[in-house]
A and B are shown apart, each in its own frame.
Chain A
Amino acid sequence: MITKSNLYRKEKIYGYLFILPPILGLLIFTLFPFVYSLYGSFTDWDGLGQMNFIGFDNFKDLFTDELFYKSMYNTLFLMLGIPIGLLLALLLALGLNRKIPGTTTFRVIYYIPVISSLAAVSIMWNWAYNGDYGLVNQFLELFGIKGPNWLMDKDTVKPALILMTVWKGLGYTMLLYLAALQSVSRSYYEAAELDGASGFQMFRNITWPMVKPVTFFLVVTNIIGGSQIFTEMNIMTPTGGPEYSSASIVFYIWDKAFKNLQMGYASAMAMILGIFIFIVTLIQFKMNEKSSFDGD
């Protein structure tokens, strides 16, 4: 006969057995490398010879490294695309939330860039930005504007990348906004309408508060994703762009670690990136806690 405690003992064993792979994976492929990277950031690690402990030297060097500042600045600059994308996506979602024909088709079309391979669309945009015969300049020519050679000019390379990232991410943001809008009860709007509220008032007092948690979620995840941008510049500006003006922080880490074999130095940068993402995530967790206490 199986006793209750016997049953529980078995359940315990199976429980641990079932979660063993992801826990092991976490230890081997995340926690251990993370600790190693932390240690490596305090050494002169070159991936080949000995790792000598050099204290904070890597971090001190970073403070005087012009390219580090540049790639940090570039990464942050590219995040200007986040508010632009959010605004456009919200407008789109508001439009798609109405009873108009073809909403499913629109949803699919706007979402196609999201699922498209980033490498393939980077290649496509790389060409679209060509100064002589790129799609973007051909389009501008319709209005009599002579476009620049986007990716070769340090003033236009970042806006060009922003435009592309907005294009790529718009469908995803729109989709999340749409899901949030559809969870807003119609009765709020009906009540407001009876009270004679204007469209703008309804947006400000009903829609905006209801989509605020999603906006926050999107801001945070976009910052986290944006701080790790890499593929676009690797394909479109393989040398980091004119005067390194399109290199992102991950691009610089990759360059230092795998091209120059300055693993310790690159680890120090990776740690700074990690701390940045940690802080952003922490803020999200705190805000989530708060909003769940608000009875959300």
Chain B
Amino acid sequence: MKILVCISHVPDTTSKINFTDNNTKFDTNGVQFVINPNDEFGLTRAMWFKEKQGASVDVINVGGAETEPTLRKALAIGADNAIRVNTPATDGFQVAKQLANVAKEGGYDLIIAGRESIDYNGGMVPGMLAALLKANFVNTCIGLEVEGTQAKVVREIDGGKETVTAKLPLIIGAQKGLVEESDLRIPNMRGIMMARKKPLNVVEPVDVTVQTKIEKFEKPAPKGAVKLIDPDNLDELIQLLHTEAKVI
């Protein structure tokens, strides 16, 4: 089985979010970048297929040269090849289109992408990629087994879960639950050394007409101070929630 894992290069979850250039650009100053957590769950599941079922695993990212350390980390975790599409990621559709262009040549049986990135939270890429490739698609996956050309996927739905079956080639939107948090891998020294020798291919982008454009960013208004309630006077809390906040 040939697997492609789409990797988004995102600010670490502890990052403070700021903007520059009159609030039009994300301020990367002092920000640590990581593999998008939803992609990391997918990558770990791909490693399982590699080790247990003899799959090959490529990783791909759409972005400038600054994203290469993130791809190298995926190689150090165990991916076989990395591909970087040499263009900044601008919107979900543009990214999906670039990914589709590479994927259609690659003959992948399974493509895994995080259900959303933790920066722009668009939740577009896996579904758009599937539609562009005319492949089967299952979102919010929390379980995946593949036997021959048949996949059994468990996906999270509002208030529960659902089991579906689909034939390969298949695209899934991965998320927490697809593997246990404790199974996520930290690259070891051997992996890091080996990653240096693994291929990281840079491919040039195709032309895409942009569909959405971010004009500016804004931070939420600062919040007023918390109202502290005496633990011996919980009636006051109930009254405040009822009359002031009007939520009960």
Chain A partners chain B? no
B interface with A by C-beta (< 8 Å)? none
